[in-house]
Amino acid sequence: MLVEREPNETLMGTARSFGNGAQKAVALPEWFGKHSPRMTRGWRIILALALALGGIRGALAQIDPTRRELVQLGYNQPIEGRGPLAAYGFYYLNRPDFLQQSNLTLRLAVAPVYLDSELGIRRALGPHTDLGLGLAGGGFADSYSEVRRGKYEKEESFLGHSAEISSSVYHLFDPASRVPLYGIVRGAVHYSVYARDTSTEDSFELPDDQLFFNVRAGFRFGGREPVMMPELAMELSAWYEGEFRAHPNRYGYSDDRPVQAYAHSFWARALLNYTTPDWKHNFAVSVTGGSGVNLDRFSAYRMGGNLPLGAEFPLALPGYYYQELSTTAFTLFGGQYNLPLDSRQRFLANLTVASAWVDYLDGLRQPGNWHTGIGGGFVFRSPSESWLIAIGYGYGVNAIRDDERGAHSVLFLLQFDWGRTRQRLFHPDEGVGRTRGLDAILKNIFR
């Protein structure tokens, strides 16, 4: 439910932004790798929140010139069956003029056990060419969940922790135009450490810890802000990403599944988000398509669930488990409509529809190549627009559950603009001990 997200942007993913969670993190000690103790219930909750940062990965299309300070929360819960954890929760900071230097921008995303950051240097390589230096690290971001024919195979799922350094070049081709066209080239070195979860079967062999080299290149015309419900957005973009592994190997039961030496992915997206000026009706439509060469479980496109900030390019299907489908090629159509229910546009009704044609990864095939999800719910927007809350329902029309078709889920989303709230609550004429915050909150709720 609710919109995708992005352009001056960051988001979540795992094996390559579409994937499981996100590749990142600081190298962890050996005892936290293959021989780590079984996870407690408390650590599983932390894992759910850590998945947030899968969504905050930083392959930005450009350095964001807008000051932002946001808190984002999201959670999908299946009504029948038990799927992988589907949640995010993170603090996002974008600060231009960092250290009082007009050409520096700090982007920072923090989740419970994960951090993703980038220092942007404007005009570092020319008047219209910027440089970004990234560092990411933490736990659980490379965890993998096996889902086959609608069943979550916990015995074949495992944890992944990671570390990454990266550098990006952003070039603006049309500085005089109102709609920017950016070219992006990004290189990264990524290290993953894999560990058993509480339910991973002893006879299931984990993949070797892995060193990845990643290259991404693309063009983006327009873009979308990293918020839940932008009033206006337009994007046309096309991308390539190459993954090269230093230690390709086989794993699983009797080495039945590969970690490929390399994988190439190609995808494109077109989207439009618009709000009517008088009635404030908001709608979004998008088409995303992709294919690849030599893809495996770590590089496949993973589709399902409805977490708008859960990946850099979220492949949402309401009602499905999060990342339920693993595909080597796909075309995904999505649409959403937000209808105000009151004159002040605080309450909105929401309708979401998504339908996709997919070609499955070998070993994860199922009958039928079309999948459709339908969702609906309600959004509450505070009068100051400092925060949004959404609750919703999703129905996966073609999702397999116990050899039958159809699946149900519920959704919760929250966005809190801490930067906007802080400006409103603390007035420069008032002392430290006195604010207008409580009065403002009460008046906004009860007036």
Asked whether 39 and 159 are in contact (CB, 8 A), the reply is yes
* Domains of the chain by start residue, with CATH: 11-446 (2.40.160.50)
pLDDT band at 81 (very low <50, low <70, confident <90, very high): confident
Q: Which region among 20-34, 48-62, 171-185, 362-376 has the lowest average model confidence (pLDDT)?
A: 20-34
The Cα 313–Cα 315 span in angstroms is: 6
DSSP label at residue 344: T
- Sign of the torsion angle spanned by Cα atoms 199, 202, 203, 209: positive
pLDDT band at 183 (very low <50, low <70, confident <90, very high): very high
Give the per-residue pLDDT at 374: 98
Asked if the model's pLDDT at residue 266 lies above 90, the reply is yes
Question: Residue 402 class from Cβ within 10 Å (0-12 exposed, 13-18 middle, 19+ buried)?
Answer: exposed
pLDDT band at 311 (very low <50, low <70, confident <90, very high): confident
Measuring CA to CA, which residue among 159, 269, 164, 167 is closest to residue 204? 159
- Average pLDDT for residues 110-129, to the nearest whole number? 95
Q: What's the mean pLDDT when you consider all of the chain?
A: 84
- Average pLDDT for residues 6-15, to the nearest whole number? 32
The residues, any chain, with a CB within 8 Å of residue 178's CB and separated by 6 or more, are: none
- Sign of the torsion angle spanned by Cα atoms 259, 262, 266, 271: positive
pLDDT band at 278 (very low <50, low <70, confident <90, very high): confident
Asked if the model's pLDDT at residue 57 lies above 60, the reply is no
Quote the crossing angle between the two packed helices 437-446 and 418-425, to the nearest 10°: 110
